[in-house]
Amino acid sequence: MAVKDIQSSLTERAFMLTSIIIPINFLLLFLLFALTGGQAPTAVVLEDKGPYAQQLLSAMEHSHSFIIQQTTASNAQNLMQKGQIVAIVTVPASFDAALEHGKEIELPVVVNNLDVDFTNDIRRAVPLAITSFYANAFPNQVVVRAHEVDTYFQDTGYIQYIVVSLMVVSIMLGGLLQAGSNAARE
């Protein structure tokens, strides 16, 4: 029976080609979403150029949550109106001085909350970046730190993670197409 199914598959090249093309299309579609939706495009306006402000910018860049574009306040507003960014984080001019004197600082974050997914990403990522910055800038004051222990030796990216599911869907789709073709032939 297996030999007969293989012979049928080789003669019905259209179904074999379809069972290959459809999963590739799924993969391209998912890659399009994965590559465009993983990090929130964010403008950072540095009104303070001091070392602490630079450290905060670095913490944001290394948080794996933002696509950072450092710019001016007016340019950031233009980018927000054009829909090219979803948030504007402004580091105030008194940032370094206030930190050195132990004063509380408000970090203005303007969020375009049209897309709830990006909005929630920003709401989670900004405090995480601030915590990371604070732990590195003032290690003696932050007494609680997360200690990550990875289960696997390397991180699995979104694309690698989704490819496994697409392979399973591909095999199932190919099997259904071939089985349907073989059943119709019988």
pLDDT by residue (tens digit) across 85-97?
999 999 999 999 9
Token representation of residue 2: 């297996």
What residue segments make up the domains of the chain, in order of their start?
Answer: 2-34+153-185, 38-137
Yes or no: domain 38-137 corresponds to CATH 3.40.1710.10: yes
Out of 24-28, 29-33, 124-128, the most confident range is 124-128
What pLDDT shows up at residue 140? 83
Sign of CA dihedral 78, 45, 134, 108: negative
What pLDDT shows up at residue 34? 65
What pLDDT shows up at residue 170? 78
Please state the pTM of the whole predicted model: 0.67
Q: Of 174, 151, 150, 123, nearest to 17 (Cα)?
A: 174
* pLDDT tens profile 65-76: 888 999 999 999
Q: Of 147, 146, 130, nearest to 138 (Cα)?
A: 130
